[in-house]
Structure 1
């Protein structure tokens, strides 16, 4: 009875350490591999996994079975590529040795995920999970702490926010109540964790290079983005000035509507400026204009009209906005809202029509060129 004893290394740590190409087959080859991996990094759990593979094969041999030892590793730049490489190695082993079953030796949850791949090639009788025992004493704790402090990324992620929190805690407690101080510290700590967890620092580090490349490439959108940012600030400023202090349970909603009514036109103008700059970049480029960039300006105008209509309806219902007069006829809030909604839909349909016509013309030009 031939049994395939597989040591799985999905991340190809063994291959990167030794430079050997998988699969590695045979008792002597695996025994030599244990020495190479152990000398390179004695703390690597792969050493224990390889030793367990040898032990399983020895026990099978004592039971008068014919074990075939093999170490298979993943390869490629992605998990899909690694699994495909590993499955190809298993196929070659099955074709060469024709085993009746297999015993899989793993040492991590990541390696365990490839068991279904192996089961689709050969029957798996057992999965041997290697767990390394560690001494839970003071010396081991000190050693792990020393390793933690030696990792620069972990220090900056954990120790810096914790140290800043401990420094700010006495200052806040002397100035505010305990509840306010703890709430402020919790907010700062949460912001720091989100900053690192969402990789905001990586995004900010790429901003100067993107701005530099945009300036050197002569993109119009760089200027329009700056203008749109200024228009957005103007809209926020005018919206804040439009808010009137009121007393009552509905004061918060009224204030929000007053702010939005005054800020929406400027915010829509800011978005329109930014989208126009991006559209000009597409027009200047040689690849033509894609449909989303043609739709964007019209969509911004349509959303601005709808937002202006709803906020105006609310303020007009609260008698904070005078009824508009058209030929001596007072327009009701419902009529005003309906007019803005219809105008937004019309603008959106015009955008769809323009984008469709331009796309069809571009397609015809491409066909004629061919």
Structure 2
């Protein structure tokens, strides 16, 4: 599974690495709502939460579905501006001015992404003019709870009111905590954007994408970007451009905006050493499948503590050497084992670093 961006005919000057304060605010709100996704930001999140005005905290809860599970495209409004070549603003105010350029239909469609009512990657019905689609949107929102229903009903009946609410909410967040955060991060993100732009000009898009993430790459023909994700989608730049937006608060999220009719955007994390060699989706699937077998789980329990030969493991588990060898082969193919030779014997051991990245519960379980 992956997201594909058709870039046939795209000129280098239409590719832009540029930070966006509004996009970074989205990641800040996400980190406040899901601190477990961002352990490195827990101290920051605790400090912000402790100082937050209770009224603003309530408003965050009122619409956190816009950034908790789905990172709403409302925070990337520049991508939807007609012409598909607009760049993010340098300030929150400038980004909000770009939000004002979206039509009511675009605003509603992006705001209701959490209901999955819209056909994200293809042209769909005009939601505001389709009673059946409006009913469907409310019905889907109902499965998410009463807050989403109230938000959806107000949005469908009075889009300008919700747009004004969203604008005021963003401005209040900037005043309450984000202006200080952006003052600290903005220079870092601008420096990363300059570095990637220089790399693009000197060495080309393939090298620039490799610096963005090992999960993103361009094919040999230079006409398609593929982003390795647990999801599918495709879009094209057409006569528009391609935006690459760095985020400091967004690790490990590598997001791709591929909404139909909008400028494609790759929102990528920076300055995270853990991102140096993330597993591909295929590797992740191999690892999860390898660990789903009870025998291989038991093998991991021993291999996490010490190195063993195939014969030793066969004796411990009361199985034949060929059976153990087959299980070890599955674990090794998944990248979970290291091997070394001692004379005529081959010793196998669990790569604890790789296992730890799969989750602390698994590691604690086999070491318990």
Q: Which has the higher contact order (CA 8 A, sep 6+)?
A: 2
TM normalised by structure 2 equals 0.22
TM normalised by structure 1 equals 0.22
